Amino acid sequence: MINTNSRLFSQAARCLPSVGLAALLAISSASHAGSREQALQIHNRIAGVPPTEAVLAQMSSSIEAGQVADAVRIAMSNEAFYRVTLKNMVTPWTNRDRTVFAPLNDYTATVIGLVRDEADFRTVLYDDVIYTSNAGGLPAYSNSNNNHYEAIENQGVSLKDTLVRRPQSSVNGLPADATSGVITSRAAAKAFFIAGTNRAMFRFTLINHLCRDLEQVHDTSLTPDFVRQDVSRSPGGDSRVFLNNCVGCHNGMDPLAKAYAYYDYEFDVNADPDGLSGSIHYNAEGTIDPDTESRVEKKYRINANTFKYGYVTTNDNWQNYWRQGMNVHLGWDSSLPGSGTGAKSMNMELAHSQAFASCQVEKVFQNVCLRKPADSTDRSKISEITANFAASGYKLTQVFIDTADYCKGE
């Protein structure tokens, strides 16, 4: 019997250049992918390793029955989903170089634990939570080193089976109301609270969790009343540089970054210049920094003579000026006040935005589909998956399910 589809395909192929032929082959392969091929694709993308024959058969049966979610959950039950896929996705969030080649740490482990437990993923930025392993033979969690997590990795301890949720305040000494999810993890403090003026913590939180750098939120129309003293109002002697460039970032960032005013990463700069043995520090109630005569860390007064009439930080109250102007489109939660005190409430402001939700979907899309959204169809799907993410109670597993389903024929 003549295969009509094959004959038509051959006739069409002869009329195409080599690039067009390759594209047609890809389209044909995707459109005719059977349940077995789709199952293999899902498992490879979700777990990063090939499935056993038994698992492949089970996933294929689920797909044939129209239960793609069940097939994806089978793939997510593989240890490699946690040890490879999630770790590789999250690790760049934990360091300034944004490299995947960094050891497991409390930031990464906490994200993995929240995904596994199908928690409201927004709490990653503000809950009193940390995940450690309950496996035997491991060093205890320490606020001054990463030995616990490096041992988990070096010894091949299961992230799927041994991670346990704990109050962060029970291990790092912070008051419960001063904890703020992964933002106050040791790894984040070491990377982003170290030295500087704590603007780095805010900037990298924006990059990692709202998928925007400061250039994407630049708005010169806002009031600059919280711009600190260390920002020159006439860089290079030209005030236009400040008015047209610098102010567009600082007028929104500085009133929000006030929330981090009581935090630092402390280490012995002489004996330990890289801060390998440092730890997060927080000026609790009643603590007075002699340099600021308040609870504010002295780093907030760095270069105070640059523009002495600039804003002087005296507390950790914050305001979100981005609720007006062009950054309204970030989708702020109208049930929240848009101002508050401390890191926990400020990071909740960020986590409850539409930008946070869509950012998580975009990151999963790139990790599962192995590409960025390319066209209107992809962007429409991103919007649909983001809506499902919210409807699920912000379970990131739902995003993996929906994305794997969408890309299973590629």
pLDDT tens, residue by residue, 226-240: 999 999 999 999 999
> What distance in Å separates the CA atoms of residue 14 and residue 1, rounded to the nearest whole number?
22
| Arithmetic mean of pLDDT over the chain | 93
Read off the pLDDT of each residue in 73-77 and give the average, rounded to a whole number: 98
- Could you tell me the CA-to-CA distances from 323 to 58, 179, 220 in Å, in that order? 49, 25, 14
> What distance in Å separates the CA atoms of residue 110 and residue 198, rounded to the nearest whole number?
22
Question: Would you give the distance in Å from CA 14 to the centre of its chain?
Answer: 47
Q: What pLDDT shows up at residue 15?
A: 41
DSSP string, 360-379: HHHHHHHHHHSS---SHHHH
> What distance in Å separates the CA atoms of residue 288 and residue 64, rounded to the nearest whole number?
65
> What distance in Å separates the CA atoms of residue 310 and residue 205, rounded to the nearest whole number?
25
> What distance in Å separates the CA atoms of residue 371 and residue 90, rounded to the nearest whole number?
17
Q: What pLDDT shows up at residue 409?
A: 83
User: Two tokens at 76?
Assistant: 């997510």
Single pTM value for the model: 0.91
Q: Give 107's pLDDT tier (boundaries 50, 70, 90).
A: very high
Q: What pLDDT shows up at residue 6?
A: 39
pLDDT digits (tens, 9 = 90+) for 125-164: 999 999 999 999 999 999 999 999 999 999 999 999 999 9
Q: What pLDDT shows up at residue 32?
A: 53
Q: Give 33's pLDDT tier (boundaries 50, 70, 90).
A: confident
pLDDT of 81 strictly over 80:
yes
pLDDT of 1 strictly over 60:
no
Q: Give 373's pLDDT tier (boundaries 50, 70, 90).
A: very high
Read off the pLDDT of each residue in 343-353 and give the average, rounded to a whole number: 98
pLDDT of 14 strictly over 80:
no
Q: What pLDDT shows up at residue 25?
A: 36
> What distance in Å separates the CA atoms of residue 56 and residue 74, rounded to the nearest whole number?
9
The set of residues, in sequence order, having a beta carbon less than 8 Å from that of 194 and lying 6+ positions away, is 265, 267, 275, 278
- Per-residue exposure over 227-266, b if at least 16 CB sit within 10 Å of its own CB, e if not: bbbbbbbeeeeeeeebeeebbbbbbbbbbbbbbbbbbbbe
Q: Give 365's pLDDT tier (boundaries 50, 70, 90).
A: very high
Q: What pLDDT shows up at residue 30?
A: 43
> What distance in Å separates the CA atoms of residue 404 and residue 68, rounded to the nearest whole number?
9
pLDDT digits (tens, 9 = 90+) for 261-313: 999 999 999 999 999 999 999 999 999 999 999 999 999 999 999 999 999 99
Pick the range with the lowest mean pLDDT from 5-19, 82-96, 245-259, 343-357: 5-19
